Amino acid sequence: MTLAVKNPANPSPRYTGTAILLHWVLGAAILGLLGVGIYMTGLPFSPQRLKLYNWHKWAGVTLLALSALRLLWRLTHRPPALPDAIARTMPGWQKLAHHGTHFALYSLFFAVPLIGWAYSSAAGFPIVFLGLWQLPDFVPVSKELADAIKPWHQYTAFALGGLVLLHVAAALKHQWVDRDGLLHRMLPGKRG
């Protein structure tokens, strides 16, 4: 893997291969988990529903681990700066939205699975990762606490889904309206 900034005098316009991989894997995982979460809550009590809940928990723990890896990568590998032409012409509110959305996304990468873990613990349903390793309870078992936490997992999950859609819309705007090539910085493969 190469660093995002190979040489301070010659910054790379693209993200590293690792950053690109983590971006797309996490994006797909978030959308998949949101879809499964919506689907499974509408199912009647059944073995299928229990199976999906367990899968959802395992995927949430995996998402949490990948989020930690992504944050560590981001902290140790500076992302490429916006190209000068874009930075000069982008309105201040868009720059603020760009940075604010990224900050909110990273915050929710952690908040959503941690709130889900707390809810599962409070409800007395331990997380047994892959059916092999029981994770420690995040909070004590308490029906009142579980009832208080439960809606927050849904609220934060929908907020994360909404921010992902906003992020996608902004990327497509840059690609199809502005035609500034900004999206190519995060696409797999070599780009000129």
Q: Which long-range contacts (CB under 8 A, 24 or more apart) does 101-105 make?
A: 101/163, 101/166, 101/167, 101/170, 104/159, 104/163, 105/160, 105/163, 105/164, 105/167
pTM strictly above 0.75: yes
In a domain, 179, yes or no: yes
- 3: in domain: no
pLDDT at 138: 86
User: In CATH, what number is assigned to the domain containing residue 138?
Assistant: 1.20.950.20
pLDDT score of 191: 56
- pLDDT band at residue 7 under the 50/70/90 scheme: very low
DSSP string, 49-117: HHHHHHHHHHHHHHHHHHHHHHHHHHHHSPPPPPPHHHHHHS-HHHHHHHHHHHHHHHHHHHHHHHHHH
Which domain range does residue 39 map to?
Answer: 17-186
**pLDDT above 60 for 11:** no
**What pLDDT does 40 receive?**
94
Using 50, 70 and 90 to split pLDDT, how confident is the model at 96? very high
CA distances from 60 to 17, 66, 153, 176 (A): 24, 10, 11, 33
Q: In the chain, how many domains are there?
A: 1
Q: Is residue 25 part of a domain?
A: yes
In a domain, 8, yes or no: no
Average pLDDT, the chain: 89
Confidence class for position 179, pLDDT limits 50, 70, 90: confident
Residues 144-153 have a mean pLDDT of: 97
- Most confidently predicted of 33-37, 129-133, 174-178: 33-37
**122: pLDDT strictly greater than 60:** yes
Residue 96 lies in a domain: yes
Residue written as tokens 């992302």? 79
Please indicate, yes or no, if residue 9 is contained in any of the structural domains.
no
Q: Please check whether residue 10 lies inside any domain of the structure.
A: no
Query: Is 2 domain-assigned?
Result: no
Average pLDDT over residues 42-67: 94
